[in-house]
Amino acid sequence: MENQLKAWLSDYLETYSKTIKKLTADSVLPIISEFASTCKNQKNIFVFGNGGSAANASHFVNDLAKGVAVETGINIKAISLNENVSLMTAISNDCSYEDVYLMQLANLANSGDLVFTLSVSGNSPNLIKAVEWANKNGLNTIAIVGGKKGKLYELAKQSVVIDSFHYGHVEDIHLFICHLIGYALMENQELLK
């Protein structure tokens, strides 16, 4: 059993390493620039996802609203749309789960704000509807998706694909990209001037 587990671990780590090596500075740089511009112009940043991607969205908003804000002295207007359980369940129950993010954006967002969504499949109907609404209403949209790409890849104005179908690998690298964005802003503060 131990040899089998060791072989599995070796394969997992090797595959993960190959996947993350496919991520390039050129694929992430435009996204970092978009975040810098949004922060500099004091626009809102809306982050959301489902399941593990929702947890990553929450983590990322924490890094932006506390970490980047404290390090830079700039007020960062970052909101995770998957935090308000009462509102999410009310929308889901009374309207549709597909509208859970769209309705929040319709209440809060303005033209020029940034929508950032994380999805392994790229095909979650609630994320798609929110990005479609955002595009129609003058928001900037970014999606980070897995190897399936899905409809979000085509819809978002900017997209990054994690070239894997493994949920663990994709969600880990989603958070890695979120950390890249946050630390790029904290450690290159000239981007915010």
Mean pLDDT of successive 10-residue stretches along the chain, which has 193 residues = 92 95 96 97 98 98 97 96 96 97 98 98 98 98 97 98 96 97 96 90
- The string of pLDDT tens digits covering residues 105-127 is 999 999 999 999 999 999 999 99
Residues paired with 45 in a beta bridge:
78, 114
Report how far residue 67's alpha carbon sits from residue 30's, in angstroms, rounded to the nearest whole number.
21
Judge whether 145 and 116 are in contact, CB under 8 Å: no
150 half-sphere exposure, CB direction, 13 A CA radius: 23
CA 133 to each of CA 17, 104, 115, 137, 158: distance values in angstroms, whole numbers, following the listed order: 36, 11, 10, 6, 15
- The string of pLDDT tens digits covering residues 64-84 is 999 999 999 999 999 999 999
Judge whether 74 and 41 are in contact, CB under 8 Å: no
Q: Give the SS3 label for residue 115.
A: strand
User: Residue 156 maps to which CATH number?
Assistant: 3.40.50.10490
Put simply, whether the predicted model's pTM sits higher than 0.85 gets the answer: yes
Q: Is 51 left (phi over 0), alpha (psi -120 to 50) or beta?
A: left
Q: How many distinct structural domains can be found in the chain? A: 1
| Structural domain harbouring 164 | 2-192
